[in-house]
Amino acid sequence: MYRLNVKKFGFAMGLTGALIYLGCMIVMATAGQEGSVAFFNSLLHGLDTTSIIRMDVPLWEAGLGIVQIFILGWLIGACIAAFYNAQIKVKK
């Protein structure tokens, strides 16, 4: 079995989360409130997102969100890789 590089796997997870966050920002910027509600309602299996979608998000807050998602993704990815590596039996 191959060992995972913890830092690289964490970076990949963090970057993936940041890209998904950016995609969400693009949907909200291009589809407007009604389109965003329709998109996220269908994505979340019909959960009504009307009351939680906020369209007046300042740019600094969105930037902070990307950074936070990257950090959380990195930590989650690093944990997954570390737990995976800990379960690998070393051949002697």
User: What does the domain layout of the chain look like in residue ranges?
Assistant: 6-87
Tell me the pLDDT of the chain averaged across its residues. 94
CA distance 86 to 13: 19
> For residues 91 and 60, which has the higher predicted lDDT (pLDDT)?
60
Determine the Cα–Cα distance for residues 70 and 49; give it in Å rounded to an integer.
24
3-class DSSP state of 15: helix
Q: What is the pLDDT of residues 54-80, one digit of tens each?
A: 999 999 999 999 999 999 999 999 999
